[in-house]
Structure formats: structure tokens, C-alpha cells
Amino acid sequence: MTHVTEGDLDDLEFDSLRTGDHRSAAVTFADWADNATTDEGLTRAMLLLRAGEQFQHAGEHSHAAEVYRRAIEDGGETYGDARVYLADALLKLGDNAGAIGLLAEIRESAPTDPEVFRSVAEILYEHGDLLGAHTWSTHGADLVLALPERTRGDAAESLEGLLRLRFRARVDLGRPEDEYDALLDA
């Protein structure tokens, strides 16, 4: 049985970027999820998410959706929300109803991580849902702005990304600047 470290993950991702062979990287990540032991902190679900990302880079969205579902079913700790990744794959597969259902489920779960809002907003923007991107980025910005300034930490970086995405959506929607847009100038 192979032992996998964070460095192995980074090496494999870097190699896939260098060679463009995302499919092989996806298969390796999925194999590691099923068969390898990992360093503490690396979960099976994390490996499955990485496999899904690589399948998406390879344009194999149905395989990506399959491993994202496995990551969700696994329930292990991940970076981000695996449902967001699955929603993206479903949109790319034309399963808008499935994606919308997942996004509603995410919203109802009241996420506290602003990166979840940013990720959803980016996906919606990419798929042409400007109003959805605007709404999700606004809610994410509100989440960060509700935190006391001294405790924002990493959320401050999320805030900038959310505000930039929100601004792009507003411009594309033909809306005038507002108080949130002024925060980008500050």
C-alpha cells in the first residue's frame, strides 16, 4: 500500500499542469483515495475532490461528478464544500436542475465560510447567471463585513475576491456603482 503526503499531491498537480495530462492525475488521485494511506490531515474526500478537479480539467465532467459524489458520500473533511464542485460539474453536463438543487441545499445549510460564497458566485458567473453571481457574492461579502474588523483575518482576502466578482456582475448587469463597490476603492 502506498503512503501519500501533501508533497505527493502537489507534485502530481504540478506535473499535470506541466504535461497537460489531467486524466492520469485524476485516475491516480482516485486510486490513492481508494488504496493509499495518507499523512494526518489528508482525507479520502480531499483526494476525491482533487481527482474530480483533474477530471474537470480533462473535460471529463461525468467522471468528475462521480468522484465528487463519492467525496460527499464519504463525509470526510475537505477544502471548500464538495457540493459546489459537483454543482459546477452538473452545470457543465447540462443538468441545471441538479445544480440548482445543490446550490439551494448549500444556501439552506447557511455556510459560514466566505469562500463557499465566492466559489458559487464564480461558477454562476462562468455559466452566465449574473444575477445569481451577484446575489451569492453579496451574501458572502455581508458575511465577512459582519465580522469585527480585527477578527477578519483570512476572510479579508475572501472579501476582496467577493467584491471584485460582485462588481463584474454589476457592470455586466448594467447597474450603477453602490456602497459595496466603494469598498474596493478604499
Show me where the domains of the chain are located: 1-102, 110-186
> Other CB atoms closer than 10 Å to residue 30's CB: what's the count?
21
pLDDT at 59: 97
> pLDDT tier at 39 (50, 70, 90 boundaries)?
confident
Among residues 8, 101, 105, the alpha carbon closest in space to that of 50 is found at 8
Q: 127, 120 in Cβ contact below 8 A?
A: no
At 69-105, the pLDDT tens digits run 999 999 999 888 999 999 999 999 999 999 999 999 9
pLDDT at 134: 98
Q: Is the pLDDT of residue 156 over 90?
A: no
**Which pLDDT value is given to residue 15?**
95
Q: Is 146 helix (H, G, I), strand (E, B) or coil?
A: coil
Length of the chain in terms of residues written: 186
Beta-bridge partner residues of 3 = 37
Q: What is the mean pLDDT of residues 156-170?
A: 94
Q: Which of 61, 171, 72 is nearest to 123 (CA)?
A: 61
Average pLDDT, the chain: 94
Amino acid 41: pLDDT: 83
DSSP H helical segments within 43-146, as ranges?
Answer: 44-57, 61-74, 82-92, 96-108, 114-126, 130-145
Query: Angle, nearest 10°, between helix axes 114-126 and 82-92?
Result: 0
Of 12-16, 98-102, 152-156, 181-185, the least confident? 152-156
**Would you identify the CATH topology of the domain 1-102?**
1.25.40
The pLDDT-based confidence of 58 (bands split at 50, 70, 90) is: very high
Average pLDDT over residues 29-50: 90
Q: pTM for the complete prediction?
A: 0.90
CA–CA dist 158, 153 (Å, integer): 10
What is the rounded CA–CA span in Å between residue 52 and residue 62?
Answer: 9
Task: Determine the Cα–Cα distance for residues 42 and 104; give it in Å rounded to an integer.
Answer: 28
Report the candidate in 104, 109, 183 with the shortest Cα–Cα distance to residue 149.
183
Q: Is the pLDDT of residue 173 over 90?
A: yes
SS3 state of residue 25: helix
